[in-house]
Chains A and B, each alone.
Chain A
Amino acid sequence: MSFLLKTKQRFAKLFGGLFKKKQMRIGIYGPPNAGKTTLSNRIVRDWTGDAVGPVSEIPHETRRARRKEGVKISDEKGNSITIDIVDTPGVTTKIDYKEFLEYGMQPDEAVVRAREATEGVAEAMHWLREDIDGVIYMLDSTQDPFVQVNIMLVGIIESRELPVIIVANKNDLPDASPARIKSAFPQHPVISISGLEGNNVDELYEKMIEYFG
């Protein structure tokens, strides 16, 4: 009898472990200066009152992936999801310290930043492979979306069969063109927001509940 009980318990534990609902881990990806940390901060502030990290106009401010666990997002209809938000370093194929010098950074400081940013990209790609269940791909809608890094990274995300929401950020700026981003990625939902001003983020939250829930 005790043997049966033990076996039953063991199986229950095993299957419980297998089917335990994991919290969705949503990675915010995109090129440098798209506004990933600004959006992460907004999501986390809106739903937990906390923040994720500092923002800067100098590219590669975020050089380590930052995570906020257990962020519960809900809509008016009472639907909700609890997710982990991962703010990742900007993904790019070229990092040159000279770029930072233009922002008045000292050369030695810029070289360190470039090295850390490189490590950051490697880390972001590692996360994408190991730990991410869904992606918010951020783009600056004042910039051309048809650049190789975007096409490639979205391709990599698609090849991993992860759900993607494309966010066309910075719609508060006069030369923003979310339509261009929509035409670049017709296969994914595109939400036009301003992470800074908070324009239209509610639509993004609804989409996140619908898409990642």
Chain B
Amino acid sequence: MPHKCAQCGREFKDGSTDILKGCPSCGGKKFLYIKRADLHRDVLEEKSIEEIAAETKQEIIEIPQKAPERTEIYDRIESIRVLSPGSYELNLEKLASGDDMIMQMGSDDKYIVDILSMAKKKKEGKSKKNR
């Protein structure tokens, strides 16, 4: 039997995994398990999904929402984030761990990877070994 989005009424096929990520149309997280015969009752009888749920004694299921995990600055890949010209955020652990530079420009996922700095690190390692 199918599900219906409690917010916009979009129907989902039986066993559809789409609802696990929330409704693709409205982003709703609540769904009602509904009998095929009752599938269009909400539109035909001009009832809300909640009313249908009360009548059919089905519980509206809610997709558990993961709290958006805030990425700690130190878990991120960039060494320096350029927020705007003259404003920087520095990732000290990254800077302490190596010379390779990855810079993030603004808050978008735009990165500048300094390949030269990464090559330099290897070379230094080599020369140290030779010493």
Q: How far is the CA of A122 from the CA of B85 in the complex (A)?
A: 17
A96 interface residue per 8 A CB criterion: yes
**Across the two chains, which residue of chain A brings its CB closest to B101?**
A122
B92 interface residue per 8 A CB criterion: yes
Chain B interface residue number, banded: 20 to 34
Measured between beta carbons, the chain B residues less than 8 angstroms from A115 are 86, 88
Measured between beta carbons, the chain B residues less than 8 angstroms from A95 are 87-88, 90
Question: How many contacting A-B pairs (Cβ < 8 A)?
Answer: 59
Measured between beta carbons, the chain A residues less than 8 angstroms from B92 are 91, 93, 121, 125, 149, 152-153, 156
Per-position binary interface string of chain A over residues 142-156, scored 1 when its CB falls under 8 Å from any chain B CB and 0 otherwise: 000000010011001
| Nearest CB on A from B93, distance (A) | 7
B90 touches A92 (CB 8 A): yes
B86 touches A94 (CB 8 A): no
Looking at chain A's contact residues, the main secondary structure is: helix
The 5 nearest A-B residue pairs measured at CB: A97-B86, A111-B86, A125-B95, A114-B86, A96-B87
Ordered by A's residue number, 26 sampled pairs between the chains whose C-beta atoms are within 8 Å are: A93-B73, A93-B90, A94-B88, A94-B89, A95-B88, A95-B90, A96-B83, A96-B88, A97-B86, A97-B87, A98-B87, A110-B86, A114-B88, A115-B86, A118-B80, A118-B88, A121-B95, A122-B79, A122-B90, A125-B96, A128-B96, A152-B74, A152-B93, A153-B92, A156-B92, A156-B93
